[in-house]
């Protein structure tokens, strides 16, 4: 069974159980009407027993339906359809047997009333059970045939109308049911198609968003991903004036690398270095991203100056230990700048970036392949005029 067919079967069964609810008041109301009409013609205890049986089956079916809903329809749709049909059949038999027994006992006007209301029940069943042929036939036939048999039994003048009515009911059920059921099924099918399309679309949308945040060359986050993450983590840190660390990493003498080995080789080198840096995004809130060109950034939320400097030094050593050959400086190395902010609503994230950038500049100026950290925490000072970060 394809996924579509399985969904169709489940939806049909779900509708079956859902719409049954609406037939409950109708069953009880017609039951009461029968008791009133038949009062005086049928022994009261018989009438009450029959009515209580109807109510009992109604309640049992309601409880059964609720139980299945609570279990979120974990059984197969075929099993659920069978279970529903057993309940529908019990209902049909109760009404049918009552019709068979009660019709001969009442005057003709009341006989017509009983037959008409029985047909009313069948048309109600037609609407509520349109998604299951089995349930509908199990309900309909036991309900209408017995009163018609009782109508014609022993009265030759009633045989023709009873047979005509029975023929009409059978014709109605066999001819109309499949066509209308197909229409309903088509409706469900197109709803399912729409749901699938919406699911597919939102999946594609998620993929597009994920791709828009990925650097295609190195497969780690791009500048947009970094900016988004910085913004988000800044808001989080601002709530409790937490620390937020930033590490900027720049490959040393990368121009020489490109000039000597060519751009494609340079791209491969960028990929290797990015892989090495990504290992240091260890906590769930950390993020490694390509900041631009041969520059990378590592965001370390809730990290002290000592902690961020330690990660940066480990990162530098790791890139060094990869021992990627460099045409002019033996191996590929990186210079690293570290800064940590004590985040505040009035403080701009650009100050943290600037401080990390300044530290990186010093690392380059002091001979490269080294880590330099900002001398103090980036904090709010009197010149900060930034409007509150929402």
Distances (CA, A) of 354 to 29, 41, 350, 359: 79, 98, 6, 9
CA-based end-to-end distance of the chain: 52
Q: Tell me if 362 contacts ligand GTP by CB under 6 A.
A: no
**Selected binder of ligand GTP within 121, 173, 270, 287 (CB under 6 A):** 270
Nearer to ligand GTP, 11 or 294 (CB): 294
Nearer to ligand GTP, 234 or 253 (CB): 253
- Which range, of 162-170, 233-241, 250-258, 318-326, touches ligand GTP by CB under 6 A? 250-258
Q: Tell me if 372 contacts ligand GTP by CB under 6 A.
A: no
Least distance (Å) from ligand GTP to the CB of residue 265?
Answer: 8
- As a whole number of angstroms, the distance between CA 242 and CA 155 comes to 94
Helix, strand, coil distribution of the chain in percent, nearest 5 = 70, 10, 20
Do β-strands 371-373 and 334-342 pair in parallel, antiparallel, or remain unpaired? parallel
Least distance (Å) from ligand GTP to the CB of residue 290?
Answer: 8
**Strand order, beta sheet including 243-251:** 287-292, 295-301, 243-251, 334-342, 371-373
Rounded to 5°, angle at Cα 11 from 5 and 12: 90
- As a whole number of angstroms, the distance between CA 236 and CA 73 comes to 41
**Selected binder of ligand GTP within 263, 279, 283, 330 (CB under 6 A):** 263
User: What residue is closest to ligand GTP based on CB?
Assistant: 266
Mark residues 288-327: x for contact with ligand GTP by CB under 6 A, - for none: -----xx---------------------------------
Q: Tell me if 330 contacts ligand GTP by CB under 6 A.
A: no
Q: Tell me if 251 contacts ligand GTP by CB under 6 A.
A: yes
Sign of CA dihedral 209, 215, 217, 218: negative
Q: Tell me if 364 contacts ligand GTP by CB under 6 A.
A: yes
Is the separation of the CB atoms in 387 and 323 below 8 Å?
Answer: no
**Selected binder of ligand GTP within 21, 155, 182, 255 (CB under 6 A):** 255
Per CB under 6 A, residues contacting ligand GTP are: 217, 250-256, 258, 263, 266-267, 270, 293-294, 364, 368
């Amino acid at each position: 069974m394809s996924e579509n067919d399985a969904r169709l079967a489940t939806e049909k069964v779900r509708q079956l159980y859902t719409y049954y609810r609406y037939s409950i008041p109708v069953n009880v109301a017609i039951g009461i009407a029968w008791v009133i009409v038949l009062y005086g013609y049928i022994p009261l205890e018989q009438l009450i027993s029959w009515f209580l049986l109807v109510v009992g089956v109604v309640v049992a079916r309601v409880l059964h339906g609720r139980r299945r809903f609570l279990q979120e329809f974990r059984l197969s749709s075929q099993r659920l359809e069978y279970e529903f049909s057993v309940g529908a059949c019990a209902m049909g038999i109760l009404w049918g047997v009552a019709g068979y027994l009660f019709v001969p006992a009442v005057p003709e006007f009341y006989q017509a009333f009983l037959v008409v209301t029985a047909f009313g029940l069948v048309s109600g069943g037609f609407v509520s059970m349109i998604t299951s042929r089995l349930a509908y036939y199990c309900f309909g036939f036991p309900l209408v045939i017995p009163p018609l048999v009782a109508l014609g039994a022993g009265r030759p003048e009633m045989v023709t109308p009873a047979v005509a009515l029975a023929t009409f009911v059978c014709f109605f059920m066999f001819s109309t049911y499949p066509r209308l059921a197909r229409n309903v099924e088509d409706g469900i099918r197109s709803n399912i198609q729409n749901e699938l399309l919406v699911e597919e679309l939102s999946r594609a949308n998620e993929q597009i968003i994920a791709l828009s945040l990925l650097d295609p060359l190195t497969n780690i986050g791009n500048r947009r991903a970094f900016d988004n993450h910085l913004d988000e983590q800044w808001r989080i840190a601002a709530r409790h004036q937490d620390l937020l660390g930033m590490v900027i990493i720049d490959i040393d003498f990368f121009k020489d690398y490109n000039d000597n080995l060519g751009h494609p080789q340079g791209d491969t080198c960028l990929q290797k270095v990015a892989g090495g840096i990504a290992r240091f995004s260890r906590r769930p809130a950390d993020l490694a991203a390509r900041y631009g060109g041969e520059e990378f950034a590592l965001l370390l939320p809730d990290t002290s100056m000592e902690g961020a400097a330690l990660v940066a030094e480990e990162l530098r050593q790791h890139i060094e230990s990869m021992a990627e050959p460099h045409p002019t400086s033996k191996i590929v190395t990186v210079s690293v700048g570290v800064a940590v902010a004590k985040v505040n609503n009035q403080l701009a994230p650009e100050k943290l970036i600037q401080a990390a950038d300044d530290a990186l500049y010093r690392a380059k100026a002091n001979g490269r392949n080294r880590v330099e950290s900002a001398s103090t925490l980036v904090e709010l000072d009197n010149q900060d005029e930034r409007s509150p970060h929402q």
